[in-house]
Amino acid sequence: MMKVIEFKAHPDHNARGRNGWFTPQTAFITNWEGDEMVDVAVESGRAAKCAPLHLSLCIEDAENLANTMLAACKDARERMA
């Protein structure tokens, strides 16, 4: 399974990778059948052999990260309202 996320252009989007700061453009989230890991690769618009940011997490930790990010987004939206 592969999911692809194209990020909306935003002047404050940034990420830190192996070569310094970059603007994230695309994320690829993969989990192949029988694999206990979830991989997240975040790429900039610049072509490269491997993504500047890559996470490989067990399913439990990937779920924890996703749930924590969702909770942070909910809190941020509530503060903005």
pLDDT digits (tens, 9 = 90+) for 16-73: 887 889 899 999 999 999 999 999 999 988 777 777 888 999 999 999 999 999 999 9
The pTM of the full predicted model, rounded to 2 decimals, is: 0.82
Q: Which residues pair with 15 in a beta bridge?
A: 22
> What is the model's pLDDT at position 72?
98
**Domain total of the chain:** 1
> What is the model's pLDDT at position 6?
95
> What is the model's pLDDT at position 50?
75
Q: Which residues of 13-38 are buried (b: 16+ CB within 10 A; e: fewer)?
A: eebebeeeebebbebebeeeeeeeeb
Range of the domain at 30: 2-80
